Amino acid sequence: MNPKKILSEWFIITFGTVIAASAVFFFLIPSHLAVGSISGLAIILANFIPLKISAITMGLNVALLVVGLLLIGRDFGIKTIYTSVLMPVVLAVLEILFPDMQSIMGDVFLDMLLYIFTVSIGLAILFNRNASSGGLDIIAKLLNKYLRMDLGKAMSLAGICTALTAALVYDAKTVLLSILGTYLNGIVLDHFIFGFNIKRRVCILSNKEADIEAFILHTLHSGATIYEPVGAYDHQIRREIITIVDKNEYIQLMNYISKTDPSAFVTVYNVNEVFYRPKIR
């Protein structure tokens, strides 16, 4: 990777971290919600420890990084170490710039929604660059390694446990909103992460099979696989084309099929991830 690409990579990671930290500062902290994250836990601990939230977040992240290095190794990489340190640094800068920050919306529920939407954008940027915000990610990896727990379930469990700590300080409404926010945050984050990369698996049975195959190969420059299924009604062997395309290619393909063979039988499935070695054109 050349220096420009490396610089661009780290700039994007920094940008994603700044967005996530801004979401915490402008929406999560004023609402006093402990939506499942290390920052949420820091908000609760700030009621017992006479330190700023940025300092508590830094302490928690550093402690988790040390635990992660000792028990996991270096699997989570230099990017997670960088973002774990950068997040509280950005929070500290915002605390200096906006010392008396109050709720922007004046409503806890709206603050929660804006936090979820904004932080999901930042975290999606990080995850799509093979980075993370540290914190609960490290706890989830510990649960995954030592308890053989699915990583997604481990993240959810760590988040819910963090949200429940709100019961130590706040009323039942705040606790319930923290748990609800943690759940919604997972859903929205999944949408942002997988929504960027979603592809479609298109299965086609058509009398114009040769024309459609040629369109996929030579116009879309995509690949396809041919299967020979047997119809249950007449037991005749047919040829089924299966291809995986992105959103733009999907629109082109469906338009072509509707013009070429309106009677074609087409089924479509969403595909979240595809691993392959691209062909050299």
DSSP string, 109-154: HHHHHHHHHHHHHHHHHHHTTT----THHHHHHHHHHHS---HHHH
pLDDT value for 73: 65
pTM: 0.68
| Domain over 198-271 is classified CATH 3.40.50.10190 | no
When the pLDDT of each residue in the chain is averaged and rounded to a whole number, the result is: 84
Structural domain boundaries of the chain? 3-196, 198-271
Q: What is the pLDDT of residue 197?
A: 66
Determine the 3-state secondary structure of 102 from DSSP: coil
Across the strands, what pairs with 230? 237
Instruction: Report the pLDDT value the prediction gives residue 154, as an integer from 0 to 100.
Output: 74
Q: Is the dihedral of CA 209, 214, 217, 219 positive or negative?
A: negative
Are the C-beta atoms of residues 261 and 212 closer than 8 Å to each other? Answer: yes
- Ordered mean pLDDT values, 10 residues apiece, the chain (281 residues): 82 92 90 81 88 90 82 70 89 91 85 88 79 74 75 73 84 86 78 71 93 94 90 87 90 93 93 66 49
Which tens digits make up the pLDDT trace of 45-87?
A: 888 888 889 999 899 888 888 887 777 666 556 888 888 889 9
